[in-house]
Each structure stands twice: as structure tokens, then as C-alpha cells.
Amino acid sequence: MASKGFFSAFTDVWLLDGVRTPMVDYCGALGHISPTDLGIKAAREALKRAGVPGEDIGSVVTGNMAPGDFDQYFLPRHIGLYAGVPVGVPAIMVQRICGTGFELFRQAGEHIQGGACEAALVVGTESMTRNPIAAFDHRTGFKLGAPVGFKDYMWEALKDPAAGINMIQTAENLAKQYGITREAVDTFAASSFAKAVAAQQSGFHAGEIVPVVSEKFELPGYKTRGIKLHGKLTEVAHDTHARVSPVEVLAKLKAVFADGVQTGGNSAALVDAAAACVVASGDYAKAHGYQAGGKKALARVVAASAVGVPPEIMGIGPAPAIRLLLERTGLTLNQIGRFEINEAQGAQTLSVAKELGLDLSKLNVNGGAIALGHPLAATGVRLTLSLAREMQRAGVRWGISSACVGGGQGMALLLENPNGI
């Protein structure tokens, strides 16, 4: 498959630290919370863990897909301001659907490498629950007897009107093209669940989670924002979707399409979450105690790639995106010690692995989106944070995070752990 697209390389850009909220099932304990406030929560904690004061941030790069409240237009600005970033620092909201989180790192890297700033705040946030029921054709009123245009924003977003199919159908197309069976998809899903449960039990996931509690976000001179948990809840501290899910249980679920391989059990879970990271230049990192005998940055952000693929097989996008990274950096697939590839659908991820000839033992070793969830704009940030931490834990030098993108794209990010082998 051709590796056309664009490629961005960074010489001295570092992921200092990051954090995410728990990923909580659709209509669960975080379902009433604005994605702006989830983003503020993650941003504040990321700055704290990185040891970077808000006033040092020179760029705020955020991502959010569906509007979770009426002030979504202000989401990037409010996340920055309520996280303590100076009023003079600009903020932007970026959208590349499921690839949004990776695009945030790419743009932050370009801001730093181009000299616009020394440190950037990257935040992806998504409330799948708060996707609205919306209409776009009633501004002038309702005509007698005319159809009412209100539709489920999220459900409609799963359909690509150009190709005339939904995201599950694109995975079914790949399953047929690559000979992926229902048994193989269920086996892969069971493994994702098992790895996620093991990572929870070992404390790996807890190391990147900030518990969500009821709290106020104050900004002198402006309206106080905040989070208020419902009922008797005092804390939301864990991902909720991961559970032991044996193949024989998954096999009992009905396929979405007759004779298909995809079910609700082997596709990405719908969850609400936010994730944030602090990215900085090497000079900034060294000046603030990183690397030289002090705290170690999680990883060097080496390069990013983005490609286009046919919309009807959009899920194959990570394969050419990863190939482009390897071609331009001179690395081989075997040199990559860990991969975090978003599990939009089981057949989609297996098709990518088959196309690349990927060693599955290196893929999503702490569970993937089938087990943990896929909070759209937050996913790329979460995957990259988890990848960087896993590279440190495993002592590997190179890692790639990647995702397919609805409409027919793929995006990938290459990280380096200088202390790895």
C-alpha cells in the first residue's frame, strides 16, 4: 500500500509527563460532566505532575469532537485559562476525528520546533454521553406535517455519507479482504480484556489516572467552573469497562450484520474521558531539572505522519501511516518495541497487523480500546501517554501510537526512550 501523506520530524521535542481521567462507560458516572471541565481537570494535573507552572506554557492545543455543551466554542480557551495558563497565550481546538489526539502532539511539536514556544499543553477531551440530539434544519421553524429533523448526533457521526456505510461496515470490508474470522476477532477481543484487567490489577493504569472528584475551578475575575459528582459518589478513580471476557462468552453475542464478525463485545467501548500531556523543548526540559540526573521525561517525540486511505476501508489507515514513519526515519518494523494502535474494531486492528506483519506480542500490551474505550479526541493522547509509560517500564527504545480515522485516514506518532534498547 502506498505511503503518501505528510510527515513531520522533530529534533528536540519531549513529552515531559501526562495524565488522564478514568475512562467511564457511556451514561455512567462522568456522563453529566462537560468535556471542558474534564479537560481542565486533566490539564491541571498534567502540569502538576510535569512540574511545569501554567505561566510557562506558550501554546494550548486541544481536541474535542462532539459538542458536549453550548459553550464548546470556548473549550480550548477555557481549558487553558482555568488550568493557569496566562491570558496572553493563545489556544486552539483541533479536529482529525479519531486521530485528533495525535494531531495535537504534531501541532505542539511544530510550535516548539518553530520557536513559537518552549512548552505546550496538549489536551484531548470527550463526552460520548453528552453528544446532543440535534437538528440543523429548523432555524426557520417547523412546517405543518413536515418531517422533524432531530437526530442522534453520535449515531449519525458513525456513518460516512460519501461511502454510504458506517464504521462497522468498513471493518467488515477489511475482514473480508484480509480473511479475518469471527473466532479470530473474538480471540483478539478476549485478549484485550485480559490484558486490561491485568494492567488494572498491577497498578499500571492507576499510574496514569487522576481520580475525578467534586471540586471547583476558580479563575480570579471570572465565573467559577467545576465538577459535581452525582449522588453519594465522592470519587471516580478507575476505568469501568474492562472485565474478564472469555472467548466463549464473546462468541454468544450477535453480530451487528448477518454473517459479519463485529459485535458489541469486540468493538471499541463508548466512554467519557480526558487526557493531557505537557510537551517541551529539550532546552526547557534541561533548564527545569529533566534528564541531567533529575526527573526523566517520558519520551522524545520523534515524528508524526498522516495519510489518506479509501473511506470504505478507513480502518487500514494505521498501516500506511506507520510505514511512512518507518520509511522517513530509516527504522524497521522489528526495531519498534511497542505499538499502541486504537482498537476501533477488532477486525480493523487485526487487518492492520496482518498488512504490516506485526508481532501481536508488542501490540496494546496493557489492553486496548475494546476493553478500555475510545473517547475520540482523547484517545490519541491516552494511547501516546500509555505508550511512553510502557516504553519506560519495558525498557524499549522505540514505540509507535496510531489510529484509523473515519472518512479514510490514518495517523501515527513515533516516540523514543533514549534509555531503552
In this structure, the strands spanning 398-405 and 91-94 are unpaired
N-terminal to C-terminal alpha carbon distance within the chain: 30
Residues 60, 64, 69, 70, CA torsion sign: positive
Helix locations, 52-125, DSSP H: 75-82, 100-113
Distance from CA of residue 48 to its chain's centroid? 21
Kindly report the number of other CB atoms within 10 A of residue 254's CB atom.
10
Q: Grid coordinates standing for 193?
A: 480484556
What does the DSSP 8-state code read for residue 118?
A: S
Can you tell me the distance from the alpha carbon of 283 to that of 13, in angstroms, rounded to the nearest whole number? 9
From the candidates 27, 98, 117, 277, give the one annotated as an active-site residue.
98
Amino acid letter, residue 307: V
β-bridge mates for residue 6, sequence order: 306
Closest CA to 360 of 341, 384, 382, 387: 341
Distances (CA, A) of 194 to 61, 90, 199: 34, 42, 9
Can you tell me the distance from the alpha carbon of 17 to that of 57, in angstroms, rounded to the nearest whole number? 14
Can you tell me the distance from the alpha carbon of 386 to that of 367, in angstroms, rounded to the nearest whole number? 10
Rg of the chain's alpha carbons, rounded to an integer? Answer: 21
Can you tell me the distance from the alpha carbon of 323 to that of 99, in angstroms, rounded to the nearest whole number? 16
Is 117 marked active-site? no
Indicate the burial class of 67 (C-beta count within 10 angstroms; 0-12, 13-18, 19 or more). middle
Whether 61 and 278 have beta carbons less than 8 Å apart is answered as no
Is 98 marked active-site? yes
**Strand ranges (E), 262-352:** 271-281, 299-308, 338-341
Q: Grid coordinates standing for 190?
A: 478476549
Can you tell me the distance from the alpha carbon of 234 to that of 33, in angstroms, rounded to the nearest whole number? 14
- Catalytic residue set: 98, 404
